[in-house]
A and B are shown apart, each in its own frame.
Chain A
Amino acid sequence: MVRLALVGCRRDGEPYAEAVGRLQGAQFVATIDADIDSAERAATALGAPNAYLGMEDLIIEDMDGFDAVVIDAPNRAHASLVKAAAILGKHVLVETPLALSSTDAEEVTSACRAADVRLMVGAASRFVPATRVVKESIDSGKLGQPGLLRIHRWESRDTSDWPTLEAEAALDGGSVMGQIIRELDLATWMFGSMPTEVYAIGRKQGGAGLPDHDYVQVHLGFPNDGMALIDYSAALPAGQGYSSLSVIGSTGAAYSDNHQNMNLLYRGGSPQALDTGYGAQHVLAQLQEFVDAITEERDPMVTGEDGTAAVQVAEAVKSAIDSGHSAKMNGGSHELV
């Protein structure tokens, strides 16, 4: 049984709580958060016997009582927590981004390799069932050479969340490093390579006073004439979000769109659309993959190198937004042109 410790309980253990009952070969044994109340709520939700105020407390009390950490702390803490886990010899699942800079991402990846611990970067988007169908269709050759990837992801941010957005922008990477990096990871995964060209634009749709863009549009070029269009918005009114992903290949195409997954509710007036959704399947699949990689002593599906690549692309996106120029791959990095 792999014993997991959740580090960072800002979401009180959600969304893992929905998945933990079906997780095989692992269980949560501890939760850790600087807010002990959050840690205790998460412990209850996850069925973990113990809640701690900090990593030091867990190490002192029960160093040998856990095998791996699942890091869901603020982004700014990711790199240091991963490094600490490696030093302790604990396997790590860290939510994206792996770090806020590619330098830090490379460093912690190397640290985990040197310590021979499994490092998995959380990329739950890869585990969404429809996304997996699309990827499998690419891998099987059904779509031929991928040509154009299109992703939309829109979500809402309540105005009461603006202070959080401000904190994120200042410390946690903002819309690019904190949000659209997930879609940048999907793009490198679908094309199997780093983009050769990066162009991006950001907007503050919610008002010029926002500390960061709440709308980002990215245009990537890939080898073999591949291309990707990605847009992320945090500016939807309060309520459910929208996502869509499609890949057009040389011999076929695959489409995954919330639009296709709508059912109708008639309650007088115009019908309402009901999104059938996936529940927590993707969270469970990601956790299970982490556990299996540990027990099978292999690299997980999303490695530290993958996480580093996503951070590199995000850095290029930020440069493109800030400069208004496109960036091209030169050597191992993107340079503005």
Chain B
Amino acid sequence: MSSSSGDTFRFAALSAVKHGYVPMGVAAHPRFTPVVVADDADQGDWVHERNQLLADELGVPYVKDVEKAIAEYDVQVAVISSQAERHCDLSVRAADAGLHIIQDKPMSTAVSECDRVIEAVERNYVKFMMWNRNFMPALLQARDAVRSGAVGVPHAIHVDFYFASDAGPHKGSAKPGDAPIDWLEYQKDAHATGRDGGVGLEPMGELKIEGIYPLAYIQMLLGADVQRVFARTASHFHQVNVDNNVEDLASVTLEMEHGILGSLAIGRIGKASHPDGGLIKIWVMGSEGALAINESKPEAGVYYRGQPAGEARNQRVAGEGDYLLVDDFANAIDTDGDTILDARAGRAISATVEAALESGRTGSPVTVT
């Protein structure tokens, strides 16, 4: 379906069991109007409950039939925030229905699924965008500095991406005889209280859950594909990660096109490990200079007697990132251009993550395929 410049787009939230902020972020843009929440009828009660909550918040119906909802509500855009292992299936179905797509991260739990999405999106000539953080003010500043030539020809990039949040009981807290923490049950509980995470049947570590963000930064800033990785992964902080054999801490050496080198340090490091929710930093080195970027800027600090220990002392205050992201998506539809993070870019990130996980398992460098 096509839309002329300036038109509004009717969107369906196809499953919103996690990250309700994605459809809410889309709904906040004046060119996007939510018309329905939909999901497959065979999903569990907890899925339907969450979808209904979102539908109530958006003031739209909830329909337990995806294809029926698309047809009956004249939907033009699908916003997908299901369990991670269903992302690609819903995206393919949306593409085959002619819908443009905004999909939550990760792109998929399997690179092969990403290939299905690419095929469907390109066959149906629809736009696809992975939800990302590339329009944060500090990222735009870094992008502008790199584009202006301020650092010359880039030759290295490093990103720290730490979420200072807890993920249930700490590592080592399990007592003899304790059953392993069930991944899905833990994630459902985590999202009941609004914490971030990787909702789905399949356990996921931080590389899969959050890796898209820093790898998307690297893609946007340097435009170079990752060709080979060497990684170390560990369940270092949380019992749920130990019990499900997925990492909550990882370090990755990146060897990229054009001889560019990089590294990524990523983790869910525990609430105590940063006063403001986590450190996200980007360093770019080039032939003429270098950048050190704190992604949280701009921010404002508030301190008061009796302030809870877990309350951030410094708060991010530039909330335009989501608007600019959705606006970029609208512009891609208007102009038949590329989105900031399309299906092929998303697939490249998934492949990098898979290679890093393999490297962490084998202890050897792995070529990204």
Contacts and interface: CB of A to CB of B under 8 A. Distances in A.
A284 B296 CA distance: 36
Contacts of A258: 292
Interface string B220-244: 0000000000101011110000000
Nearest to B278: A253
A251 to B, nearest CB: 7
Interface stretch (B46-54, B60-68, B194-202, B267-275): B267-275
Given A229-B253, A248-B269, A250-B237, A236 B365 contact: no
B290 A229 contact: no
Interface stretch (A67-75, A104-112, A115-123, A144-152): A144-152
Contacts of B30: none
Contact of A252 (B155, B235, B273): B273
A227 B232 contact: yes
Interface in A11-59: none
B259 interface: yes
B304 to A, nearest CB: 23
Contacts of A148: 249, 251, 265, 267
Nearest to B151: A237
Interface string A233-269: 1011100001010101111110101110000000000
Given A219-B253, A227-B234, A236-B289, A203 B155 contact: yes
Interface in B181-198: none
A199 B359 CA distance: 12
B263 A217 contact: yes
A228 B287 CA distance: 25
Given A148-B251, A252-B272, A328-B363, A237 B289 contact: yes
A249 B170 CA distance: 12
B265 A235 contact: no
Name the prevailing secondary structure of the B interface residues. strand
**For the side of the interface on A, what is the size category?**
35 or more
B283 A246 contact: no
B255 A201 contact: yes
A251 B272 contact: yes
Nearest to A258: B292
Interface residues of B, number: 41
A250 B171 contact: yes
B253 A147 contact: no
A207 to B, nearest CB: 10
Contacts of A231: 156, 158, 261, 263
Contacts of B158: 152, 229, 231
B288 interface: yes
A84 to B, nearest CB: 41
Contacts of B255: 201
A326 interface: yes
Contact of A219 (B251, B259, B272, B273): B251
Interface of A: 145, 147-148, 150, 152, 154, 197, 199, 201, 203, 205, 215, 217, 219, 221, 225, 227-229, 231, 233, 235-237, 242, 244, 246, 248-253, 255, 257-259, 324-326, 328, 337
25 contacts: A148-B249, A148-B267, A154-B285, A197-B232, A199-B365, A203-B156, A219-B253, A221-B232, A225-B234, A237-B289, A242-B292, A250-B170, A250-B171, A251-B272, A251-B273, A252-B272, A252-B273, A253-B164, A253-B274, A255-B279, A257-B292, A259-B294, A325-B364, A326-B230, A326-B365
